[in-house]
Chains A and B, each alone.
Chain A
Amino acid sequence: MPDLDDRLRLLRRHARGWAAELRPYALELDRDPDVVLRLLAAPAVTHAAHLQIPAAFNPAPLVLAGERFHLTAALERVVFCEEIAHGDLGMMLALPGASMSGVLVAAIGDRAQQEWFYGRLLDRPTWTFFALTEPGGGTDAGGLRTRATALPDGSGWSLTGRKRYISNALRASVGVVFHRTADGPLGLAAALVETSATGFAAAPVPTLGVRGAQLGALTLDAVPVDAGQILGRHLSPVRRGGWGWQRTFNLLRPTVAAMAVGLAQAACDHVREHRRALRPDERDALARVEGEIEAVRRLTRRAAVEVDSDSGSGHLASAAKLRATRLAADVTRWALRSFGPGARLDQPLLDKFARDAGALEYMEGTGNVQRLAVAAALDRGAFDGYPSATVPPTAAGV
């Protein structure tokens, strides 16, 4: 279902308008991540802060022409995030709200945890963090080294470890920390943690792009955690660990792809707007780029529909993320080239777009992680129209 229905077109049209209001601040945010604090009254910021909250916990969702939007479905998020990223990807990643943590809380949190977490978000603009990546370990959940150690008096755990490249690390007040309680796949857990907790510290990690997201490094030194903070305490260890996480990542991946599509479209539109007299070969190139963007947009929407239908089915989302990341990199560089020598100095917004595109590679699994996922899916016949692999026995195996 690559074409949007009237309801989603309505959402897209409004999101596009809100995003356009953010664009004038894009370069300023690039220089100073605190600029977002001055924009709390902007509609995109207000809506992001109060959306992605399930209907059961959100008495005041977004209402447009009588239609209610919670942004809890991947397809809705894809439409919204593409448009906000079209305004500015750095701003998109700097917004307060449930964001990635909200998807995990919805997937594996119990009712009390959900009430507490979403209540915090509705109370006031609140930034959240999603602490998975560790120094030396990337986003490999199996390699997590942050560890929760049971306290001797049985009152809870003590959480110790380090995280790196965490968006909004310095402005967040609450988030989730992925960790392990024991070795092996059954020892994986995620805890709701407040940044005011004893032993919690955050330091900035300035980056080449998406500087508005204000990435940071977290140090957790014996942060106290009680049973109520362990997400999915009502679930089996598998469901609150790897199984639940995988479903969350599947739901998030189309959103990252949509951000890449929005960024690519922004670069393309910048060329269209600022290079009015295009030579015939440049017009051809522009048409080709627009075709490439539309193709990846449709793939991304299909991926969103697929994970909305089955959150365990993330292979199309991997394909979309893989291709959208390359699209954003290619299109932003093409846009710079189209302005000729000195474009990075004369078109600072395009220079920023090209730097921002670099971030997408590291969000929600690198290119190689997605390539392996796509290859595995092809192997097992997960893609419609492509049968599973039949590997003939080798000579040695006969």
Chain B
Amino acid sequence: MTTVAPTRWTRPHDTARRAGVEAALTDLYDQVAAGSLVAGPAGHALAPGVVGRAAERVWPGGTPLRGLTGVATVPLPAPVRDADLLAVRGLPAPQAAGWEPYRTWLLGLAWLRLGVSAGLLDRARAHLAGRRAADGPLLRQQLVQATLAEAVTDQLTVRALLTDADPDAGPDAVLVQAHHQLTTSDHALLPVLGATGFTEDGPGRAVYLSHLLADVYLPVRHDVPVPA
């Protein structure tokens, strides 16, 4: 499998597509915020377990974790409670100066999440190829084909945006919109997998984790500073 992700984001994208969210998130942390917990706009963090337990600082900003008050781990939602992830709240959120590096995190996270979405499409196509309805293969039904076409078009749109995105420029709102487009697109695509996509250990798990990451790290649009 090849990807057109810029070299820097190839690993989180491809790992997310093939191996799962936890491993891809480890790659992303290694690249952007090694040794730290990445705090979202409301002071939450979601990190691979090993990374999170070893973290000493908060990224961006570099505030030492030791001595911070009000920081608490949060139980993971029931279907992913066994995931090797650490959820935290009460961290200092990125302040004005922190938004510049935070844009890089959002960009890398978008590539990771695009990998999850591409993996979902891979799984959906493989699933449908082996399924038949009364009138032929499910993969050839127009309603199903329309859903797949919409999904790949959404992903190509986001990919085009991210490929050309310069981490040092460009409106953040566009990047946030790309994340939202991935979320919406996943929700539209998942049903073609049938209930297989709803099981705790099926393809819906990675999608749920992707949406959990978006929930923690996406600023609400009006919080995004307009670039000078």
Q: Which A residues are within 8 Å of any B CB, using their own CB?
A: 30-31, 133, 136, 138, 140, 142-143, 164-165, 205-209, 211, 329, 333, 336-337, 340-346, 348, 351-352, 355, 358-359, 361-362, 366-368, 371-372
The proximity string for B residues 169-180 relative to A, scoring 1 for CB distances below 8 Å and 0 otherwise, is 000000000000
A345 touches B191 (CB 8 A): no
Which residues of B24-80 have CB atoms within 8 Å of chain A's CB atoms? Answer: 40-44, 74-75, 77-79
A208 touches which of B79, B87, B133, B220 (Cβ 8 Å): B79
Q: How far is the CA of A341 from the CA of B131 in the complex (A)?
A: 39
CB-based contact A342/B43 at 8 Å: yes
CB contact between A205 and one of B43, B199, B218 (< 8 Å): that residue: B199
Contacts of A345 in B (CB 8 A): 44, 74, 87, 89, 215-216
Please give, as numbers and ranges, the residues of chain A lying within 8 Å of B194 by CB-CB distance. Answer: 138, 362, 366
Say if the beta carbon of B140 comes within 8 Å of chain A.
no
Chain B CB within 10 A, most for which of A136, A351, A368: A368
Interface of B is mostly: mixed
| Central interface residue in A30, A342, A366, by most chain B CB within 10 Å | A342
Chain A residues positioned under 8 Å from B44 (CB to CB) = 341-342, 345-346
Tell me if B201 is interfacial: C-beta within 8 Å of chain A.
yes
In whole angstroms, what is the CA distance A359 to B205 when docked?
A: 14
A150 to chain B, nearest CB (A): 26
**Contact A371 B143, CB 8 Å, known A341-B216, A345-B87:** yes
In whole angstroms, what is the CA distance A349 to B226 when docked? 34
- In the complex, 8 of the A-B residue pairs with CB atoms within 8 angstroms, ordered by the A residue number, are A138-B131, A143-B133, A206-B200, A341-B219, A342-B44, A355-B208, A358-B198, A368-B191
Indicate if B96 sits at the interface (CB-CB under 8 A): no
Closest residue on chain A to residue B201 by CB atoms: A206
* A208-B199, A351-B77, A362-B195 known; A368 vs B215 contact (CB < 8 Å): no
A31-B78 Cα distance, complex, nearest whole Å: 5
Q: A341-B219, A351-B77 are in contact. Are A133 and B195 (CB under 8 A)?
A: yes
* Assembly CA distance A66 to B187 (angstroms): 47
Complex-state Cα separation, A367 to B216, whole angstroms: 30
Contacts of A362 in B (CB 8 A): 191, 194-195, 198
A207-B79, A208-B79, A366-B194 given; A140·B199 CB < 8 A: no
Set of chain B residues within 8 Å of A368, measured between Cβ atoms = 141, 143-144, 191
Q: Nearest chain-A residue to B77 (Cβ)? A: A351
Instruction: For the complex formed, measure the closest distance between the CB of A125 and the CB atoms of chain B, giving whole angstroms.
Output: 25
Contact at B191–A361, with CB atoms within 8 Å?
Answer: yes
Interface residue ranges of B107-136 to A (CB < 8 Å): 130-134
Chain B residues closer than 8 Å to A165, beta-carbon distance? 195, 198
Partner of A206, one of B74, B134, B199: B199
- Nearest neighbor of A165 in chain B, beta-carbon distance: B195
Chain B residues 121-162 with CB under 8 Å of chain A are 130-134, 141, 143-144
Q: Which residues of A contact B220 (CB under 8 A)?
A: 337, 340-341
Contacts of B218 in A (CB 8 A): 341
The reply to whether A211 and B215 contact each other, CB–CB distance below 8 Å, is no
Contact A358 B134 (CB under 8 A): no
Beyond A209-B198, A340-B42, A341-B215, is A348–B133 a contact (Cβ under 8 Å)? no
- Say yes or no for B204: interface residue by CB 8 A criterion: yes
Are A164 and B200 neighbours in the complex by a CB distance under 8 Å? no
CB distance from B138 to the nearest CB of A (A): 9
